[in-house]
């Protein structure tokens, strides 16, 4: 096997792939944060801790490889920025005339 | 036997009927005018009596009273008033050819000590799918308010698309009613805004001191999570530093502003403070100098926009339509 998946940079920016990867990253970050909290308060320890950590690490490495192979690193961080902006807008509708 | 006076009277009656048919107002003076034009001798008493009679007849006879109304004004009848804002304290006249949204001619309407800045508009809001057109309208709206700030001591800016529609009463009357109902509030707001402009300030953190060196890739799940914990602690510390920094910046800004309104920064990394400042016109140089001092003293990056009409504070301090 081998061969690269050619995706046009422009259409990838708005494409499904970048969106899916961005969402997976968001979920991954949430799971990682939860694991750290549980490590802190002792509810995750020992072999379980190692197993969860190793799994999260593997996902992170896999995501990095995918983004590299598909050339989507910039596109994914752009989508994540858009998602953040969208959430912020929903939480704090603003914008008036003359807005900077 | 008809006396000369009676003949003259008859002529006047015919004249009155002629004026009536022509849709002219029948009153003593206009009858006299017509009589003089016809070469009839002056008889104001007869004219007055005749016009009184005609008016009485009109009251009783709707058919007779259906004389054509005076010709309507030649401009296109508008069905609303687009209001840019309310001003007080005229300093100099607004340019009579000032135009605003969609090239509409700007008019002013006075209500006691307040002046509404507006234009006659259709009743529906300005809406379009074209982004460029929206930008143009927004700029035209802002342009009128900028002109107002030079012409008046206080300007209370309204948002885009505040339109008073004709209703049971025409739009100007409805606007006057609104101003009457909110008079004290608008006057108080105008006083608070007198001679003051709004600036938008955005402060971003400078380069961080001593970021930890990039760690080697974790070799185990445990190490991976430990590194994650360190990153989280580092992020928390930076957020706390930013919050403390924001407090100091706010303190400095409050010294040189009449009012400061901070926006929540919502965990945007690197963003220390985003706020609007209300500054006296004479205090502007001091305000700008304070921003430079903040930049150098606190090792941050300061971006400032303005001066603007006080959109944020108007919205904050009074019930806007």
Question: What is the full DSSP assignment across B85-142?
Answer: EEEEEESSPPPTT-B-GGGPBPEEEEETTEEEEEEEE-SSPP--S-HHHHHHHHHHHH
Cβ within 8 Å, pair A53-B222: yes
Search chain A and give the residue with CA nearest B226: A36
- Dihedral pair phi/psi, residue B153, rounded to 5°: -70, -35
Antiparallel, parallel or unpaired: β B300-308 and B196-205: antiparallel
∠ CA(B94), CA(B191), CA(B155), 5° rounding? 30
Tell me how far apart the alpha carbons of residues B313 and B262 are, in angstroms, rounded to a whole number. Answer: 11
pLDDT at A92 over 50: yes
Tell me how far apart the alpha carbons of residues B23 and B227 are, in angstroms, rounded to a whole number. Answer: 94
Q: What pLDDT score was predicted for residue A65?
A: 94
The verdict on B266 touching A (C-beta cutoff 8 Å) is: yes
Neighbour tally for A100: CB within 10 Å: 13
Cβ within 8 Å, pair A100-B305: yes
The verdict on B255 touching A (C-beta cutoff 8 Å) is: no
- Which tokens go with B147? 């002109």
- Split at pLDDT 50, 70, 90, the class of A2 is very low
Percent of the residues in chain A that have a pLDDT greater than 70, as a whole number: 75
Q: What pLDDT score was predicted for residue B15?
A: 72
Q: Taking Cα atoms as reference points, which of B71, B96, B186, B211 lies closest to residue B147?
A: B96
Q: Which residues of A touch B225 (CB under 8 A)?
A: 32, 35-36, 39, 49, 52-53, 56
Nearest-by-Cβ selection for B221 from A52, A88, A91: A52
Tell me how far apart the alpha carbons of residues B58 and B19 are, in angstroms, rounded to a whole number. Answer: 13
- Partners of B305 in beta bridges: B200
Cβ within 8 Å, pair A97-B311: yes
Neighbour tally for B52: CB within 10 Å: 13
d(CA A14, nearest CA chain B) in Å = 20
Q: What does each C-alpha distance from A29 to A55, B44, B53, B184, B315 come to in angstroms?
A: 13, 98, 93, 53, 38
Asked if residues B82 and B62 have their Cβ atoms less than 8 Å apart, the reply is no
Nearest-by-Cβ selection for B224 from A56, A97, A100: A56
The verdict on B111 touching A (C-beta cutoff 8 Å) is: no
Asked if residues B17 and B23 have their Cβ atoms less than 8 Å apart, the reply is no
Q: What pLDDT score was predicted for residue A6?
A: 47
Q: What pLDDT score was predicted for residue B218?
A: 81
- Which tokens go with B176? 């006057």
pLDDT digits (tens, 9 = 90+) for B106-140: 999 999 999 999 999 988 888 888 889 999 999 99
Q: In a 3-state reduction of DSSP, which class is residue A10?
A: helix
Q: What pLDDT score was predicted for residue B213?
A: 61
Identify the DSSP state of A35.
H
Cβ within 8 Å, pair B232-A50: no
pLDDT at A4 over 50: no
pLDDT digits (tens, 9 = 90+) for A31-78: 999 999 999 999 999 999 999 999 999 999 999 999 998 888 888 888
Q: Which of B222, B223, B226 would you mutate first to test chain A, the one with the most A CBs within 10 A?
A: B222
- Which tokens go with B126? 């300005």
Average model confidence (pLDDT) across chain A: 79
- Give kind and range of the element (H or E) at residue B150: helix B131-151
pLDDT at A3 over 80: no
The interface residues of chain B toward chain A in range 124-143, judged by CB-CB distance below 8 A, are 138, 141-142
Q: Which residues of B touch A51 (CB under 8 A)?
A: 221
Tell me how far apart the alpha carbons of residues B252 and B18 are, in angstroms, rounded to a whole number. Answer: 81
Residues 6+ apart with CB under 8 A from B230: B212, B215
Burial B198-231 (b: 16+ CB within 10 A, else e): bbbbbbbbeeeeeeeeeeeebeebbbbbbbbbee
Q: What pLDDT score was predicted for residue B1?
A: 43
Spell out the alpha helix ranges (H) of B152-220.
Answer: 171-181, 183-193
Tell me how far apart the alpha carbons of residues B256 and B270 are, in angstroms, rounded to a whole number. Answer: 24
Q: Which residues of A touch B218 (CB under 8 A)?
A: 53, 57
Q: What pLDDT score was predicted for residue B75?
A: 46
Q: Which residues of A touch B271 (CB under 8 A)?
A: none
Neighbour tally for A86: CB within 10 Å: 10
Tell me how far apart the alpha carbons of residues B294 and B271 are, in angstroms, rounded to a whole number. Answer: 15
pLDDT tens sequence for chain B (321 residues): 445 555 446 667 767 767 766 666 677 777 787 777 777 777 777 777 777 776 766 666 555 444 555 555 444 455 899 999 999 999 999 898 999 999 999 999 999 999 999 999 988 888 888 889 999 999 999 999 999 999 999 999 999 989 998 888 888 999 999 999 999 999 999 999 999 999 999 998 877 665 666 667 788 999 999 999 999 999 888 888 888 999 999 999 999 999 999 987 766 777 889 999 999 999 999 999 999 999 999 889 999 998 989 999 998 888 777
Cβ within 8 Å, pair B228-A36: yes
Helices A16-40 and A73-91, packing angle to 10 deg: 70
Q: Which residues of B touch A40 (CB under 8 A)?
A: 229
């Amino acid at each position: 096997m081998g061969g690269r998946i050619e995706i046009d940079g422009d259409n990838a920016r708005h494409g499904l792939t970048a969106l899916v990867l961005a969402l997976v990253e968001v979920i991954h970050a949430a799971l990682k944060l939860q694991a750290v909290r549980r490590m802190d308060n002792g509810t995750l320890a020992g072999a379980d801790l190692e197993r969860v950590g190793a799994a999260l690490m593997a996902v992170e490495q896999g995501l990095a490889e995918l983004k590299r192979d598909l050339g989507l690193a910039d596109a994914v961080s752009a989508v994540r920025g858009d998602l953040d902006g969208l959430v912020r807008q929903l939480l704090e509708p603003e914008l008036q005339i003359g807005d900077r | 036997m008809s006396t000369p006076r009676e003949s003259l009277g008859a002529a006047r009656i015919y004249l009155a009927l002629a004026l009536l048919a022509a849709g002219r107002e029948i009153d003593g003076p206009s009858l006299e005018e017509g009589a003089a034009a016809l070469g009839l001798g002056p008889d104001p008493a007869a004219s007055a009596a005749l016009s009184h009679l005609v008016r009485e007849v009109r009251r009783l006879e709707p058919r007779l009273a259906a004389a054509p109304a005076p010709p309507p004004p030649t401009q296109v009848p508008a069905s609303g008033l687009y209001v840019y804002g309310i001003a007080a304290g005229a300093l100099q006249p607004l340019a009579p050819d000032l135009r605003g949204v969609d090239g509409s001619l700007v008019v002013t309407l006075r209500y006691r000590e307040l002046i509404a800045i507006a234009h006659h508009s259709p009743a529906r809001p300005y809406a379009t799918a074209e982004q460029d057109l929206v930008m143009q309208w927004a700029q035209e709206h802002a342009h009128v308010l900028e002109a107002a700030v030079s012409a008046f001591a206080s300007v209370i800016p309204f948002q885009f698309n505040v339109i008073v529609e004709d209703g049971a009463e025409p739009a100007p009357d409805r606007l006057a009613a609104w101003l009457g109902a909110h008079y004290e509030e608008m006057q108080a707001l105008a006083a608070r805004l007198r001679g003051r402009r709004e600036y938008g300030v955005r402060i971003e953190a400078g380069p961080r001191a001593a970021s930890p060196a990039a760690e080697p890739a974790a070799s185990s799940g445990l190490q991976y999570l430990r590194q994650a914990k360190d990153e989280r602690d580092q992020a928390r510390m930076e957020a706390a530093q930013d919050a403390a920094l924001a407090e100091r910046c706010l303190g400095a800004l409050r010294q040189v502003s009449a009012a400061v309104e901070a926006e929540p920064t919502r965990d945007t990394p690197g963003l220390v403070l985003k706020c609007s400042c209300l500054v006296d016109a004479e205090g502007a140089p001091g305000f700008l100098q304070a921003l430079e001092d903040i930049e150098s003293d606190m090792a941050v990056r300061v971006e400032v926009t303005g001066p603007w009409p006080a959109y944020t504070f108007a919205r904050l301090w009074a019930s806007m339509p």
